[in-house]
Every structure is written in structure tokens, then in C-alpha cells.
Amino acid sequence: MAMSLAGKKIAILATDGFEQAELMDPRTALDHAGATTEVIAPKTGEIMGWDMKDWGDSVEVDRTLDQAKAQDYDALVLPGGVMNPDYLRMDPKAVNFVKEFVATGKPVAAICHGPWTLIEAGVVKGKTLTSWPSLKTDLKNAGANWVDKEVVTDGQFISSRKPDDLPAFNNAIIEAVGSGMRMKRAS
């Protein structure tokens, strides 16, 4: 029997240029598991996805960063794409939301270029993560241990490399949220 995430609320932080599969696929998997997902973005309205080599579909923004509170969610998903995390890491409200969420000890899942926002938030030191290969040096310079694996779970952090890893990434998120995973806050 599949794990039920009924009553769980998941934040998906994204903006224009998110890799379409890396937002839509986890959202669908989490919704099917019974969770409520909310897309959080710096702006209201819709954000436009990037589908491999061109613009893709847009998704409705459920809450802006001004409206969202980290403590209201059971997990945070950070989709990749190159543009999306590059914009988010330059947005002080997005970086602050990530810092506040990490402080809750609840699961944080980042795929592809998604860890850029974690690096900017200063929360990867001493953690083992994976990512799109071009982030290897960025993660190492931020004090993380980078590995080339389909999915890596280290404490509250779940990371994957690319869209091909989505099945393992989605399963790891569902397992972490379903088990009520919560790490002790670092001192």
C-alpha cells in the first residue's frame, strides 16, 4: 500500500524558468500521495516553465513569498532549471524563506540546479548532496560533499541530479514526509 500524505502541506518554491518536469512531476506524485501542494513564488499570477530547450507550460502561483510562512509546511521542494534557481538566489525573500524552512528541520528536496538557492542560504556546509554536474564546484566551495548519485538523503536534505532521477527523488520525498522526518535544529 502506498504511503498516505493526507493532511501534509508541501511548499514548492519556484519562479519563471523552472524546469517543467522538476516541478510538475514531484507535484503530481505528492498530490497522488494525498498531500496538498502549493506553488510559492516572488510574484502573483502564473510562472512559466522551461521544457528542456524552450518555454513550456505555466502554473498558477498559490502564494507569494510575502504570504507564505515556512512553519506552515511539512516539506519544501526546490525544482531546478537554470533560470529559476538563479533568479531565486538573487531574491532576498526567497533566500530568507529557504533559511527559515531549513531551521524547521523538515525535509528540503532540491533537484538539478535547485541547490543554488541552498548554497545562497548558507545551509549546505557539511552536507552530502547531488545536483546537476555543473554545481559540483559550487557545492564543494560552500562546504558540501558532492556525489554523483540518483538521489541522496542527508539529514533533512534530499537531492537529485536531473529529470531522469525524478522517480527516485519523488519516492524519497514521499518517504521523508510520510515518516514525519524532522531533524534537530543545528546549534
Residue numbers annotated as active site: 112
Give residue 134's identity as a one-letter amino acid code.
S
Q: DSSP E strands: which ranges in the chain?
A: 9-13, 18-19, 36-41, 46-51, 54-60, 63-64, 75-78, 108-111, 128-129, 145-146, 151-154, 157-160
| Cβ-contact 48, 81 below 8 angstroms | no
DSSP secondary structure string for all residues of 145-164: EE---SEEEETTEEEE-SGG
In this structure, the number of other CB atoms found within 10 A of the CB of residue 152 comes to 23
| Cβ-contact 75, 108 below 8 angstroms | yes
